[in-house]
Amino acid sequence: MPISRDPFVFGQHCTTVDCDWKKLLKNNEQSFITDNQLSTFVSNNKPGCDRIHFYPLPFPYTFSGDKWNYEELINHNSLISEGPALDFQPDEAHLVFQPHLIEKKLVSADATINEKCAVSGNTLIICWDMHRLSKTRMSFSLPYFNANVEKIDGGIVASVKGSVFCALSVAGAEDVEFETQREPFSCSVDIRGSRVHLAITCGYDKSLVTEENKAALADPGAVFDAAEKMWNDYFTKIVPHFSCSDKTIEQLYYYQAYMTRANLYDIPYEPFTRPYTCPWKTGALWQWSWNTPMNSVCERWLNDKSIGAGGILMEGDNGGALNIGSFLRPLKKIDQLRVHNAFHQALGEYLKKLPDEYDMALFTTMPHSTPNGLLGAWELYLASGDKDYLRDALAIMLEAESLFSRDKLENGLYTTSFVDEYDYSLRLKPFIKAFAKGDTAMMLKMDTPFAAIDYNCYLHSLRERIIQAAAVLGESSVDVELIKAKNIKLKAAINEYLWDDEDGFYYDADPRDMSRSKVKCIAAFSALYAGIASPEQAKRMVKHLTNPLEFGTPYPCPSISIDTPEVDPSLLTYGGDCSITSGIYFTAEGLIKYGYTDLASQYILKTIKMVMRDGPSSSYSYHCITGDCNQEKHTLAAQSGIITDMICKNIIGIHPQANGMIDANPIALATSGIESFTFGPYRYQDKVITVSLVNGKYQVFDEVVTS
């Protein structure tokens, strides 16, 4: 059995505030529901579901051949099904989504099926009310897994490798007799009845799975009630209340809060020592080293800061992020970070052949890939004021900084073969022999580590945060003077080797001859975020940013200047698209630092307009000309949640400070068109804050709390 731990309890000290979250989030587009480990994609055009996901599996995956096969690994990363679904082809299908419940009406000739389903804990419940339908057939399969099958009351339980179990049972149907197949597992059953319930439960303990499944089938209403209570507690306790005269921004705020909770995992087994939010449960179920601390910039605006802190601290527990292929109770405990360049080069070779000397466990934990992710660890502290958390986070930042600093050039710059998350853009073309536009495996083909402008600027920023954290904690063991000296040299090197005075722009450089790439990318504006640029350099950079032939596109901010040969704004990611985090967020923050608040406000409001064009969306990449999503509209990409930070800081106006004071500066409020709003109560360090705009009067009220 996996080694268990106690699950976290969220929102214990949070005040309950009314919120009409059901109305705010109701739509007819979304078809994904989740609680924690179990999620399901409800079908849009038939009764039942397209598939379920249960994550993670308790055993490592064994490749069928001797090659690393990405698609093969993805399909075995969690328990993935086809169905459960009924054999019924409707002429009409109508769906209504709410976070806790999806309801459907399906009509074919005279026959009608009314369906509702919910997920609570590890159980999915589906209720079908059938009218003028004498018989149908339910099918369910695990196409990537074999399973042994045992009968239970009203159904069956499938056992995969004797360590993960899936129970299915039916109530309300006549003569229930499942037909099953072992390799790969599949089952089907004839359904006769007017009101039928289906319960599916997954887990690692067969007796517990069967008990939970039996209880759900005996009282389906309890499952629906539990799902509603979970989401209600979240929206009325953990999410600070926000009401606004601009209902678009209000709706976006709650949609982003929903997206954060939808991506939350609290897996109560080792090595998942803490809760974390994954990149997006609709596809990327695992943890990313860059994504996790960046998510905390959004999650600091929740009243329970343990949600934002959990993923960062779990990376410290495991020597990085528990990535693709992670499983419960690993064969080898990994508790130290590794050099990310060497890691990715080895992983690239692993693609070609699976060498005997490589342990699969080593490749399921992703070390930190770029310094800007860990900047979120400091941002979370500013909102929480939790020094115990900061002390643990500082240890992670120090270890990561030492590894980021290993690939140092004599001139003071640092090289990398990996930038941000999955940067495979045209900026890399000068440095990769096998470069191919849009190749999603490009990060594993980086044969020439290069001096990336953003990598170096964010490393400078990370060191500054380390210095600040050491001062807050009084950590004399941190060699602050050495870090300051390294940053002085780094700043000078960035301005000497990466700044092109003729073009008035920062470029990446080839370490072999220090030639500049001449590819203008939005990453260059990290020099403003990091405070590297002089005021005159910043002014020249802003000219490029506002030039409609370069970065001044209808929607901000393209990752590559649109006059770059072969640029493609529809290419995910960094092909000329708008990336919410690395493109827009860091650029806007840099503009604010240099006093370009009007331009930053325009970008923030345009970003809100972009993601709300046809109702709220959660892609993290958008087309810079049309504003269209480059992913599915409801990808639920956790990166998009950083828009919450833009709203809370620049419209509501709370800028967290290291000294615990409140810097109220709503720079985008005046041009937002908002006539009134209320925000709070919000737990900020040792205070509870409310902010309001009523009858033109902007007010901030805070009250010191003790718990």
pLDDT of 358 over the 80 cut: no
Residues 502 and 614 in one domain: yes
More confident residue, 417 or 227: 227
Pairing of strands 92-98, 82-86: unpaired
Residues 211 and 275 in one domain: no
Mean pLDDT (the chain) is: 91
How far apart (Å, rounded) are the C-alpha atoms in residues 610 and 620? Answer: 11
Residue 13 in any domain: the answer is: no
Residue 269 in any domain: the answer is: yes
**What percent of the chain is predicted at pLDDT more than 90?**
78
Residue 707 in any domain: the answer is: no
The per-residue pLDDT for 363 is 61
Task: Read off the pLDDT band of 698 (50, 70, 90).
Answer: very high
How far apart (Å, rounded) are the C-alpha atoms in residues 61 and 397? Answer: 31
Cβ burial, residue 331 (10 Å; 0-12/13-18/19+):
exposed
Structure token pair of residue 122 = 């590890």
From residue 234, alpha-carbon distances to 288, 296, 304, 396, 680 in Å are 24, 17, 10, 29, 14
- CA torsion angle for 220, 223, 228, 231 (degrees, to 10)? -160
**Bond from prior residue into 84 cis (ω within 30 degrees of 0):** yes
Instruction: Express each pLDDT in 286-339 by its tens digit.
Output: 998 889 999 999 999 999 999 999 999 999 988 889 988 788 865 455 556 555
Q: Which helix (H) or strand (E) holds 488?
A: helix 480-493
Task: Read off the pLDDT band of 705 (50, 70, 90).
Answer: low
Residues 250 and 221 in one domain: no
Query: Domain boundary at 188, 209, 235, which?
Result: 235
Residues 307 and 383 in one domain: yes
Classify residue 141 by its DSSP letter.
E
More confident residue, 262 or 351: 262
The CATH number of the domain holding residue 92 is 2.70.98.10
3-state secondary structure of 693: strand
How far apart (Å, rounded) are the C-alpha atoms in residues 88 and 110? Answer: 13
Residues 474 and 503 in one domain: yes
Residue 158 in any domain: the answer is: yes
The per-residue pLDDT for 356 is 46
| 218 CA to centre of own chain | 36
The one-letter code for the residue type at 120 is S
Residues 225 and 255 in one domain: no
- DSSP-assigned beta bridge partners for residue 365: 322
Instruction: Express each pLDDT in 41-99 by its tens digit.
Output: 999 999 999 999 999 999 877 777 655 566 777 888 899 999 999 999 999 999 999 99
**Bond from prior residue into 184 cis (ω within 30 degrees of 0):** yes
Q: Which helix (H) or strand (E) holds 253?
A: helix 247-262
Instruction: Express each pLDDT in 573-592 by its tens digit.
Output: 778 999 999 899 999 999 99
Residue 138 in any domain: the answer is: yes
| Residue of 697, 663, 701 lying closest to 682 (CA atoms) | 701
How far apart (Å, rounded) are the C-alpha atoms in residues 307 and 396? Answer: 18
**What percent of the chain is predicted at pLDDT more than 70?**
92
Classify residue 8 by its DSSP letter.
P
pLDDT of 251 over the 70 cut: yes
Task: Read off the pLDDT band of 147 (50, 70, 90).
Answer: very high
| Residue of 476, 223, 446 lying closest to 345 (CA atoms) | 446
The per-residue pLDDT for 57 is 93
The per-residue pLDDT for 349 is 58
Residue 126 in any domain: the answer is: yes
Q: Domain total for the chain?
A: 2
pLDDT of 156 over the 90 cut: yes
Cβ atoms within 10 Å, residue 11: 18
| Residue of 328, 443, 258, 241 lying closest to 55 (CA atoms) | 328
The per-residue pLDDT for 73 is 78
Alpha helical stretches, state H, 191-246: 206-218, 220-233
In this prediction, residues 516-532 reach a mean pLDDT of 97
Residues 658 and 521 in one domain: yes
More confident residue, 362 or 502: 502
| Residue of 285, 493, 480 lying closest to 394 (CA atoms) | 480
How far apart (Å, rounded) are the C-alpha atoms in residues 147 and 54? Answer: 15
| Residue of 9, 24, 21, 516 lying closest to 266 (CA atoms) | 9
Residue 9 in any domain: the answer is: no
The one-letter code for the residue type at 634 is H
In this prediction, residues 187-193 reach a mean pLDDT of 94
The per-residue pLDDT for 260 is 97
Task: Read off the pLDDT band of 357 (50, 70, 90).
Answer: very low
pLDDT of 678 over the 50 cut: yes
Cβ-Cβ contacts under 8 Å for 142 (sequence gap 6 or more): 79, 80, 81, 82, 158, 160, 166, 184, 185, 186
Instruction: Express each pLDDT in 414-470 by its tens digit.
Output: 999 877 666 778 888 888 888 887 777 776 677 788 999 999 999 999 999 999 999
From residue 432, alpha-carbon distances to 429, 446, 448, 487 in Å are 6, 6, 6, 29
- DSSP-assigned beta bridge partners for residue 393: none
Residues 247 and 156 in one domain: no
From residue 351, alpha-carbon distances to 117, 244, 442, 705 in Å are 41, 51, 12, 54
Look up the domain containing 173 and give its range: 21-235
Query: Domain boundary at 235, 262, 293, which?
Result: 235
Query: Domain boundary at 200, 235, 270, which?
Result: 235
More confident residue, 666 or 369: 666
How far apart (Å, rounded) are the C-alpha atoms in residues 655 and 272? Answer: 32
Residue 8 in any domain: the answer is: no
Residues 506 and 590 in one domain: yes
The per-residue pLDDT for 368 is 83
Residues 214 and 308 in one domain: no
The CATH number of the domain holding residue 550 is 1.50.10.10
CB-based contact 53:40 (threshold 8 Å): yes
More confident residue, 591 or 345: 591
How far apart (Å, rounded) are the C-alpha atoms in residues 160 and 141? Answer: 12
In this prediction, residues 174-179 reach a mean pLDDT of 90
Residues 244 and 328 in one domain: yes
| Residue of 252, 200, 244 lying closest to 223 (CA atoms) | 200
Q: What pTM value is reported for the model?
A: 0.94
Pairing of strands 101-108, 92-98: antiparallel
More confident residue, 666 or 403: 666
Task: Read off the pLDDT band of 185 (50, 70, 90).
Answer: very high
The per-residue pLDDT for 4 is 85
Residues 395 and 413 in one domain: yes
Structure token pair of residue 9 = 């309890």
The one-letter code for the residue type at 344 is H
